[in-house]
Amino acid sequence: MKKDKDFQLSCPIPIKDYPQVLLAHGSGGVLMHQLIEKIFHAVFKNPILDQAHDGAVLDISGGKIATTTDSFVVYPLFFPGGDIGSLAVHGTVNDLAMCGARPKYLTAGFILEEGLPMETLWRVVNSMQQAAQDAGVQIVAGDTKVVDKGKADGIFINTTGIGIIEHDREILPQSIEEGDVIVLSGDIGRHGIAIMAVREGLSFESEIKSDAASLSDLVMKIFDTKASIKCLRDLTRGGLATSLVEIAKTSGLSIEIEEKKISVREDVNAACEILGLDPLYVANEGRFICFVPPQDADKVLKVMMSHPQGKGAGIIGYVKKDKNADVIMQNQIGTLRIIDMLSGGQLPRIC
């Protein structure tokens, strides 16, 4: 990552005085208070956080809210297309969107390793705030712990989100029915491959960038169509395959998909071959599937294809009644293959 003199100088804790995070930055004294005020509060500034109390009080105008939590331990902290800060926002915003909720508030819990460069923290915190602004959410409460060198790995971030549900639908695997079609929002596998390429030192003609992005704007636009959305799922750890298997098992229905309808970029496919990975199982951070009745599929597709996060959308399969609750894929040459979860997993620390 390029060091940027101006960016370093913009850090309100002088990097020349405190080039690294110290254990004392987590111990409840003056240094911890400076870290919180000058880094976290300065960047995440909003009236709720400014109350500087143990928690945030939120006005919720009745009805239902959704909540979700995610810890981010991605390695490396910076990767093509994002970093742990923006990912920690996108990941939780997307999980709220997948509940059919409009993301409103995030909390942020940081576990910092003693010795973390202050510049890295400053960069990550700014990236979080940019992602939060773009997604229309506020970071309303936070917490910082520092652990001894060697007892963590740079930065871990937990974000927990609160969103408002503005409709009466139950967006759940249990809501899907026989005949529903499955719309996939774009090409798969880029997030996992972008990270693995950095870790393995692979380079390609053009850099593979993570697909990490906030999906809430697109999801809210899909709800605006009044389509009977049944279930939404973002394709993170375990990829498309694992998400489909989870939904089949939870709903008790089978799912049939066609391999040729699933878009994988050529460079991603090539990288998967080199790394021995199956793109169906590779993590995405800006892709999702949407279950809708066939009569609503066209209007959902139209909205998706006219949105930056859904340009490559298409129907990849449908829900079948079948007591096995299997996921079956028709491959390129027409034969059927049962898709299952992997026993372990392909990629640790991808999110």
Q: Which of residues 140-159 bind a second copy (CB under 8 A)?
A: 140-143, 145-148, 150-153, 156, 158
Span of 45-53, 178-186, 271-279, 321-329 interacting with a second copy by CB under 8 A: 45-53
Contact between 79 and a second copy (CB under 8 A)? Answer: no
Q: Does 185 bind a second copy (CB under 8 A)?
A: no
Q: Counting contacts by CB under 8 A, is residue 334 touching a second copy?
A: no
Of 23, 42, 220, 305, which one interacts with a second copy (CB under 8 A)? 23
- The yes or no reply on residue 56 touching a second copy (CB under 8 A) is yes
Q: Tell which residue, 191, 235, 241, has the closest CA to residue 211.
A: 191
- Does 305 bind a second copy (CB under 8 A)? Our answer is no
Tell me if 57 contacts a second copy by CB under 8 A: yes
- Contact predicate 154/116, CB 8 Å: yes
Per-residue HEC secondary structure of 117-162 comes to: EHHHHHHHHHHHHHHHHHHCCEEEEEEEEEECCCCCCCEEEEEEEE
Give the interface segment with a second copy, choosing from 13-21, 138-146, 259-267, 317-325 (CB under 8 A): 138-146
Residue 252: how many CB atoms within 10 A of its CB?
A: 14
Q: Are 149 and 117 in contact (CB under 8 A)?
A: no
Q: Which helix or strand (DSSP H or E) is residue 294 part of? A: helix 294-305
Q: Is 85 in the site for a second copy (CB under 8 A)?
A: no
Shortest reach from residue 279's CB to a second copy, in Å: 14
**H or E element at residue 245:** helix 239-251
Q: What do you get for the CA distance between the two ends of the chain, in Å?
A: 19
Q: Among 8, 20, 71, 263, which residue interacts with a second copy (rule: CB under 8 A)?
A: 71
Question: CB 105 → a second copy: shortest distance, Å?
Answer: 7
